[in-house]
């Protein structure tokens, strides 16, 4: 049995101003008895480090709204209300509570809990309209993080063999394709942005290295000091710039090319030009759009081994009206119909903002996922969707040590890894590879709604007409 994959988490507070969900005020009648520090399991209340006789100001980001401190205060000195600035975060997709979960996971690497229970949606657009089958949760040996059974989260990038062929003497004659192992079905998808300071870029790269994963960076954004970690960087470039990026390609295990019609027509020549430089695997990055299934089939027939389907930051098609989960399902089923699903690996990105979105994307048919925005949020970024998309990095982000920023990203992935283990254990699935396309282990609300009520409402509509 291989050694269990382990992520080293370490409590790492961030010395920047975050927006708490709740505003806790302590009245003048507080007697500093410390009752609140004893009953708060989330450590929102602590004694002052400067004077242990006094209670420090509440750490409101840690508050999970359990009301224990309010109930147990002997003097009724504590009051709580919603923070208006927190409610203004995000928008219809990136809900404010998602920021709170990511901040807390990046700080301590633990699975998030809610003191007042789950109050989120049980259905909605995108991944919210998808439920996972937890029928094996009663088995104690499959208790996720703490279970005795080995659960692997490893996946591979590259083409898989459909079958093995041997000659008359029993020697293997099948061509073994080059694949790259990734111990977690998550890679980092880093956008080209003026918001990314050098310390943030280095933190993302070194975090990917610590996790054994990869960070996708535009080739122009890869600085000389980052090139020491090229084994864990996937340079993104256009086919025309391959010659200008020879040094990066020689050092990389995987590279990514932006899709274009010309690339599809000349992919064999493009791949040869890469092979003349390196044996690196080649990803083709294509935007999620109407009809992308047809294009991906053509790319697969042309010999592409990895496809990265990129939706927008809310998980919507760049050109179209489908969510990324529906795009992945359509592509996966089309490749199955064409009998070529194992000839290609699929990376899905866009709208993946919670740990639960990772197994859901794999159930829809992806081999692994790519995330970017959650990494920025882990470092204190604020995202606003209305009236237009805006990302605001915290003041002083350029002064945060690389080690602290890296550890917060590692902590976030540690929490996501734990949640992935919990989901897989509850589903009775021991390998992340087996999650791919297992839609029988998921329930899609729109399909159940249509099957249950569709005929009824169709009859009513027909009668009204």
C-alpha triplet 435, 437, 438: angle, nearest 5°: 60
Taken in order 128, 129, 130, 136, is the CA torsion positive or negative? positive
Q: Which residues contact 116 (CB under 8 A, 6 or more apart)?
A: 64, 65, 66, 67
Under 8 Å between Cβ of 344 and 327: no
Q: What domains appear along the chain, each with residue ranges and CATH number?
A: 22-82 (3.30.70.20), 155-446 (3.20.20.70)
Cα first-last separation, the chain: 65
* pLDDT confidence of residue 2: 63
What pLDDT was estimated at residue 172? Answer: 80
Q: Which two tokens stand for residue 204?
A: 């993302």
Check residue 231 and give its pLDDT. 96
- d(C-alpha 242, C-alpha 236), whole Å: 10
**pTM score of the predicted model:** 0.88
Nearest-angstrom CA–CA distance, 460 and 236: 53
Residues contacting 313, CB < 8 A, separation 6+: 94, 350, 351, 373, 383, 389
Q: Give the model's pLDDT for residue 311.
A: 96
* CB neighbour list of residue 221: distance below 8 Å, 6 or more residues apart: 190, 192, 196, 201
Which of these, 340, 371, 365, lies nearest to 442 by C-alpha position? Answer: 365
CB 383 within 8 A of CB 390: yes
- The predicted pLDDT at position 449 comes to 79
Which residue in 312, 341, 308 sits closest to 324, CA to CA? 312
- Round to whole Å and give the CA distance between 249 and 234: 9
| Eight-state DSSP code of residue 90 | B
**Residue 146: predicted pLDDT:** 64
Residue 9 preceded by cis peptide, ω within 30: no
Report the b/e string of 11-42 with b at 16+ CB within 10 A: ebebeeebbbbbbbebeeeeebeebbbeebeb
Phi first, then psi: what are they for 10, rounded to 5°? -155, 125
- For the chain, 465 residues long, the average pLDDT of each consecutive 10-residue run is 83 86 90 94 90 90 87 92 89 89 92 67 80 71 65 91 79 80 95 84 96 96 93 96 96 96 93 94 96 96 95 92 95 96 95 94 97 95 86 88 97 95 88 92 84 69 53
């Amino acid at each position: 049995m291989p050694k269990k994959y382990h992520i080293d988490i370490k409590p790492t507070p961030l010395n920047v101003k975050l927006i708490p969900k709740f505003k806790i005020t302590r009245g003048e009648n507080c007697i500093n008895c410390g009752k609140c520090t004893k009953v708060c399991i989330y450590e929102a209340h602590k004694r002052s480090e400067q004077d242990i006789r006094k209670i420090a100001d509440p750490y409101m980001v840690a508050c999970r709204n359990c009301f224990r401190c309010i109930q147990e205060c002997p003097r009724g000195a504590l009051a709580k209300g919603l923070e208006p600035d927190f409610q203004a975060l995000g928008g219809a997709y990136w809900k404010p509570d998602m920021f709170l979960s990511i901040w807390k996971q990046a700080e301590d690497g633990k699975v998030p809990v809610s003191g007042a229970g789950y109050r989120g949606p049980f259905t909605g657009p995108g991944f919210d309209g998808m439920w996972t089958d937890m029928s094996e949760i009663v088995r104690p040996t499959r208790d996720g993080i703490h279970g005795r059974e080995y659960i692997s989260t490893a996946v591979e990038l590259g083409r898989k063999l459909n079958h093995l062929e041997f000659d008359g003497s029993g020697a293997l004659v099948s061509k073994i394709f080059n694949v790259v192992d990734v111990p977690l079905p998550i890679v980092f998808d880093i956008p080209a942005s003026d918001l990314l300071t050098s310390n943030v870029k280095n933190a993302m790269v070194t975090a990917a290295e610590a996790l054994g994963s990869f960070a996708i960076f535009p080739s122009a954004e890869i600085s000389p000091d980052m090139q020491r970690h090229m084994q864990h960087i996937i340079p993104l470039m256009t086919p025309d710039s391959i010659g200008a990026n020879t040094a990066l390609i020689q050092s990389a295990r995987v590279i990514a090319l932006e899709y274009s019609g010309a690339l599809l027509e000349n992919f064999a020549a493009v791949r040869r030009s890469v092979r003349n430089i390196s044996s690196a695997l080649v990803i083709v990055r294509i935007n999620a759009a109407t009809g992308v299934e047809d294009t991906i089939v053509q790319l697969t027939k042309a010999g592409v081994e990895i496809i990265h389907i990129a939706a927008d930051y809310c998980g919507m098609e760049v050109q179209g009206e489908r969510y990324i989960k529906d795009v992945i399902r359509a592509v996966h089923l089309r490749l199955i119909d064409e009998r070529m699903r194992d000839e290609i690996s699929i990376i899905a990105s866009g709208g993946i903002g919670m740990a639960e979105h990772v197994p859901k994307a794999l159930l829809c048919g992806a081999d692994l996922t790519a995330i970017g925005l959650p990494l920025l949020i882990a470092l204190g970024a604020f995202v606003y969707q209305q009236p237009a998309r805006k990302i605001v990095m915290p003041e002083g982000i350029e002064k945060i040590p690389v080690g602290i920023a890296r550890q917060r990203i590692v902590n976030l992935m540690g929490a996501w890894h734990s949640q992935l283990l919990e989901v897989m254990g509850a589903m009775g699935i021991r390998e992340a590879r087996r999650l791919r396309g297992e839609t029988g282990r998921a329930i899609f609300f729109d399909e159940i709604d249509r099957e249950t009520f569709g005929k009824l409402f169709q009859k009513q509509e027909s009668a009204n007409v």
